[in-house]
């Protein structure tokens, strides 16, 4: 459906949990007050919300978190969403730790594509960034996915102080494995030491140009807002997602559902609408009209600055 500004809203990101087995320096999942388990959306509740959303024009679903693969039997949810008529794609954003065990079953259940967050290819730095993560295990998981779904793997790398010295490694790694590579501007979310790790997007753009001539590529590689450069000497495209430096609110197509069932029309929304409560008390018609209104009234843009953002990614669903 279209919102009041005429934007086509066809994409929902659903956080399946606010918990995570990593505690990345830029996300601070570990410092978040946990949502009690009984307040989380059940798979049946998520299925119903997605059904209603699909009737309103949502076609693309992304499962995220926290770490979505921590959610037991996630395959059952994927199967349920797969059966919803108007849903065209189901994606997953994960830190990749459990992919070694889960890759086969989640794709068998109907997953279409996967985004793996990977911020260093150096074991020591990876451990430092994730506060204990095991790079080797994530790479093994990626190998497994590459056998099952070789052309649908995106690597998301947050732009931090670790990236400049590893930029060429990342380009070669993506080229060798045929991964789609995207660099994401660091957002100053709650609980992180922003100043210690922040590196401007422009530094990465300059470094890319030092490595090779680059050209902006038109066309889209997914439903996201990345700007893609072709890095000529390496022979790959690299996406840059800069939500703060280059706002893309005018083209925004998404809403977010948190793991406790609150619908946020924008990352900027201080308060969302509690859908889980409605599921308990309301009928399907009310649910439909509340979701419709929330989407229709989506804010014109976020007002984040480089100074601070008062939300946490793993709570809202990054
Ligand atoms: N645990 C999963 C993962 O890491 O992919 C899914 C949840 S995570 C919150 C989703 C995405 O948000 C990841 O790609 C992560 O890199 C990104 N993210 C987290 N904190 C961020 C921040 N402060 N700025 C920009 N991106 C961030
Ligand atoms: Fe966990 Fe993902 Fe946040 Fe890292 S970015 S702490 S993996 S939720």
Domain boundaries, the chain: 11-316
Find the 6 Cα to ligand 2 centroid distance in Å. 33
* Confidence at residue 224, expressed as pLDDT on a 0 to 100 scale: 60
Find the 158 Cα to ligand 2 centroid distance in Å. 11
Distance (Å, whole) CA 205 – CA 240: 9
- In a mutational test of the pocket of ligand 2, which residue from 18, 25, 27 has the highest number of ligand atoms less than 8 Å from its CB? 27
Distance (Å, whole) CA 104 – CA 101: 8
Distance (Å, whole) CA 123 – CA 141: 15
282 versus 105: the higher-pLDDT residue is 105
Among candidate residues 118, 112, 103, the one with its CA nearest the CA of residue 151: 112
Q: Which ligand is nearest to the CA of 194?
A: 1
Average pLDDT taken over every residue of the chain: 90
* Range list of H helices, the chain: 43-55, 74-82, 99-109, 123-130, 135-148, 167-177, 194-197, 201-211, 275-281, 284-296, 313-316
278 versus 130: the higher-pLDDT residue is 130
Average pLDDT in the 167-172 region?
98
Please determine, for residue 206, whether its predicted confidence score (pLDDT) is greater than 70.
yes
Residue with tokens 């979310």: 189
Q: Which CATH superfamily is domain 11-316 in?
A: Aldolase class I (3.20.20.70)
Find the 214 Cα to ligand 1 centroid distance in Å. 27
- Would you say the CB of residue 313 lies under 6 angstroms from ligand 1? yes
CA distances to 81, 100, 126, 135, 244 from 149, in Å: 19, 14, 25, 21, 32
Please determine, for residue 26, whether its predicted confidence score (pLDDT) is greater than 60.
yes
Residue with tokens 């390496």: 234
Q: Kindly calculate the radius of gyration of the chain based on its CA atoms and give it in whole angstroms.
A: 19
Least confident interval from 25-34, 70-79, 190-199, 237-246: 25-34
Q: What is the pTM of this model?
A: 0.94
Asked if residue 189 lies in contact with residue 312, where contact means CB atoms within 8 angstroms, the answer is yes
Distance (Å, whole) CA 5 – CA 266: 14
Instruction: Report how many helices (DSSP H) and strands (DSSP E) the chain contains, helices first.
Output: 11, 12
Asked if residue 69 lies in contact with residue 96, where contact means CB atoms within 8 angstroms, the answer is no
Distance (Å, whole) CA 181 – CA 198: 20
Name 90's Cβ contacts closer than 8 Å, sequence gap at least 6. Answer: 61, 62, 63, 78, 81, 82, 110, 111, 112
283 versus 164: the higher-pLDDT residue is 164
Find the 94 Cα to ligand 2 centroid distance in Å. 8
Find the 195 Cα to ligand 1 centroid distance in Å. 18
- In a mutational test of the pocket of ligand 2, which residue from 31, 66, 71, 316 has the highest number of ligand atoms less than 8 Å from its CB? 66
- Would you say the CB of residue 67 lies under 6 angstroms from ligand 1? yes
Please determine, for residue 136, whether its predicted confidence score (pLDDT) is greater than 60.
yes
What percent of the chain is modeled with pLDDT above 70? Answer: 91
- Would you say the CB of residue 20 lies under 6 angstroms from ligand 2? yes
- Would you say the CB of residue 95 lies under 6 angstroms from ligand 2? yes
* Confidence at residue 142, expressed as pLDDT on a 0 to 100 scale: 98
| Token digits of residue 12 | 């929902």
Q: Which ligand is nearest to the CA of 318?
A: 1
Residue whose Cα lies nearest atom 8 of ligand 1: it is 318
Please determine, for residue 298, whether its predicted confidence score (pLDDT) is greater than 70.
yes
Strands 153-158 and 89-94: unpaired
């Amino acid at each position: 459906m279209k919102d009041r500004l005429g934007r086509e809203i066809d994409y929902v990101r659903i956080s399946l949990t606010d918990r995570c087995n990593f505690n990345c320096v830029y996300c601070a999942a570990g410092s978040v007050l946990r949502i009690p388990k009984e307040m989380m959306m059940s798979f049946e509740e998520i299925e119903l919300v997605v059904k209603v959303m699909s009737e309103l024009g949502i076609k693309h679903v992304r499962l995220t978190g926290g770490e979505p693969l921590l959610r037991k039997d996630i395959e059952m949810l994927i199967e349920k969403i797969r059966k919803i008529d108007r849903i065209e794609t189901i994606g997953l954003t994960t830190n990749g730790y459990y992919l070694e065990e889960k890759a086969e079953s989640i794709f068998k259940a109907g997953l279409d594509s996967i985004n793996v967050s990977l911020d260093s290819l150096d074991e020591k730095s990876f451990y430092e960034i994730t506060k204990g993560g095991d790079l080797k295990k994530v790479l093994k998981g990626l190998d497994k996915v590459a056998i099952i779904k070789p052309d649908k793997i995106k690597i998301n790398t947050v732009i931090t102080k670790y990236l400049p010295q590893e930029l060429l490694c990342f380009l070669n790694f993506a080229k060798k494995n045929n991964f789609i590579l995207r660099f994401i501007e660091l957002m100053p979310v709650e609980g992180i030491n922003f100043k210690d790790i922040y590196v401007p997007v422009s530094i990465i753009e300059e470094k890319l140009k030092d490595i090779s001539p680059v050209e902006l590529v038109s066309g889209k590689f997914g439903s996201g807002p990345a700007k893609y450069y072709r890095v000529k000497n390496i022979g790959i495209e690299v996406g840059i997602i800069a939500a703060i430096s280059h706002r893309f609110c005018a083209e925004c197509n998404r809403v977010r559902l948190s793991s406790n069932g609150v619908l946020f029309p924008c990352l900027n929304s201080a308060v969302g609408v509690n859908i889980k409560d409605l599921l308990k008390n309301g009928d399907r018609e009310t649910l439909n009209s509340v979701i419709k209104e929330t989407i229709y009234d989506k804010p014109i843009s976020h007002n984040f600055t480089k100074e601070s953002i008062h939300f946490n990614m793993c709570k809202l669903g990054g």
